[in-house]
Structure 1
Amino acid sequence: MAFFESNYWHPSVATDIVLLSLRQKKLSALLVKRLDHENGWALPGGFLEKGEDLDQCAHRELNEETGIQVPYMSHFANYSDPNRDSRHQVISVAYLAVHPSGKLRIRANSDVFDVNWFNVENLPDLSFDHNKICGDGIKYSRLLIERKPSLAFAFHNGGFTLTELQQTFAAFGGHKFSPENKRNFRLWLKNYADGRGLVVETDKFREGNHRPARIYEPNLEALDKETIK
């Protein structure tokens, strides 16, 4: 151990999390403000601690800084520019995570004094290289939802209507399931989701300006096999 400590340079390792959700039907990212930085908003995350792996670090930091726990995260990139942090050479390991839409209590904690959601199309200037990391995470999520559409179900906590699910796809922009393409969307849902048992049709309906819309629920056990991991 002494050989490694004395003969090799040791950069720090951190995890940064791009946490996405739907806020007012818009794809949004969660950002934090830290007490020890004057650079404004940043992605949640922090340094790897002794004895933990990267996944554990990402989950711990997200929970410590925001109070949010998510079942799955997906590693999508590493950032190792030696000048990305002026304090010290820091390697960032970036993760994508998804949180259901709807009411969500987020709290500032640890070294964070403010937490908020931002529309991904209108992000502020972020600390370090976090604008690039966040942009890369959003691009990754858009590619992922094309390859693995079951990711859309992770944005809904409990029941959803077909319109609400279709709006989730529309929030990613450029997806083949545009809002006016309802017939093809229903056919896809029947062939893709029903065939895999990913959704369950309930006997509940949501009232609105038009006729009541049937509510569907995600089959969590089946979705466990098709996560973003």
Structure 2
Amino acid sequence: MNNKQHNIENHQAPFLAVDIIIEYSMNDKEYIVLIERENFPKGIALPGGFAEYGLTLEENAVKESKEETNLEVIIENPEHPLCVHSDPYRDPRGHVISVTYTAKGSGILRSGDDARSTIICPIDEISLLLENGDFAFNDHKRALQDYLKFRGYAK
């Protein structure tokens, strides 16, 4: 039996982040909302950010969506995120575990917080964006691929 005791003060743990794939309807067409990051690492990204102490992951996702896109969101199936990515090297700033949710967004789209701009991409053009887009995080590409499979748009 291992008698090693864990001391939380001396335990180095990864950071935790939430990302959100926001479905947004406009003029009878369906879009996914993305952002262009203001800060390092720059590039296209899903709205999201580091989890704040005292909030659930779902509350963090709603908060980050509002801050970065100005949209009100309803998290789809909050107890079952779309995916979790834990590659220690997914983020050049350090080891960050990302939990990705899907959500329906409504309201007036406007960039804020650390989003330089918002991008709306028609769902039927996501595959093209995945091939040609300059993403800040590779796992955001994987999350979008998972989303396309989950929704039946890809195999």
TMscore range, shorter length:
0.7 to 0.9
Q: Which amino acid aligns with 1:19?
A: I
2:133 corresponds to 1:133: no
Shift of 1:112: 1.3
TM-score in terms of structure 2 length: 0.79
Distance in 2 (CA, whole Å) between partners of 1:131 and 1:116 is: 15
1:81 aligns to what?
87
Structure 1 unaligned spans of 5+: 143-171, 175-229
Alignment partner, residue 56 of structure 1 = 59
Q: CA contact under 8 A between 1:125 and 1:131: conserved in structure 2?
A: no
**Match for residue 8 of structure 2 among 1, 4, 8:** 4
- TM-fit CA distance, 1:77: 1.0
Residue in 2 that maps onto 1:98? 104
TM-superposed deviation, 1:72: 3.0
CA contact (8 A) 1:96 1:141 kept: no
Letter in 2 for 1:43: L
Q: 2:23 aligns with which of 20, 24, 48?
A: 20
TM-score by length of 1: 0.55
Distance in 1 of aligned mates of 2:98 and 2:41: 20
1:34 aligns with 2:43: no
Kept after mapping to 1: 8 A contact 2:75/2:103: yes
CA contact (8 A) 2:76 2:102 kept: yes
Higher Rg: 1
The structure whose RCO (Cα within 8 Å, separation 6+) is larger is 2
Higher percent of residues as helix? 1
Partners in 2 of 1:99 and 1:111 — Cα distance?
19
Structure 2 CA distance for partners of 1:4 and 1:43, relative to 1, 3 Å: same
Per the alignment, in what secondary structure is the counterpart of residue 71 of structure 1? strand
| Structure 2 residue matching 1:99: 3-state secondary structure | strand
Q: Any conservation in 2 of the 1:76–1:96 contact (CA below 8 Å)?
A: yes
Is 1:44 equivalent to 2:50 in the alignment?
Answer: no
Identity of aligned residues (%): 31
**Structure holding more strand per residue:** 2
> 1:54-82, CA deviations, whole angstroms, 9 ceiling, x for partnerless residues?
11111110011111112333311100011
Structure 2 SS opposite 1:122 = helix
In the comparison of the two structures, how many residue pairs are matched? 140
